[in-house]
Amino acid sequence: MIPNLFPETDINGDALHWYYRTFMTGLNNYRLGPPRLRQLRTHAGQNLNVKESNL
């Protein structure tokens, strides 16, 4: 997940222009501001269901 947030090369392996580095991998999603990571702690053997939120 993290390497997809900050791409450095395109699909051909060529270096990306600074403008295209603001996009996530695939150049479909524009990154605004710093990414937010969420860490969840669970007990061993416990199932985890995470609902995505639209921020």
What confidence score (pLDDT) does residue 54 get?
62
What confidence score (pLDDT) does residue 35 get?
80
Q: For residue range 1-55, list pLDDT tens digits in order.
A: 577 778 888 888 899 888 888 888 777 788 888 888 888 788 888 777 777 766 5
**pTM flag (> 0.85):** no
What confidence score (pLDDT) does residue 16 get?
87
Cross-strand pairs, 30: 23
What confidence score (pLDDT) does residue 45 get?
80
Q: Domain segments of the chain: what residues?
A: 1-34
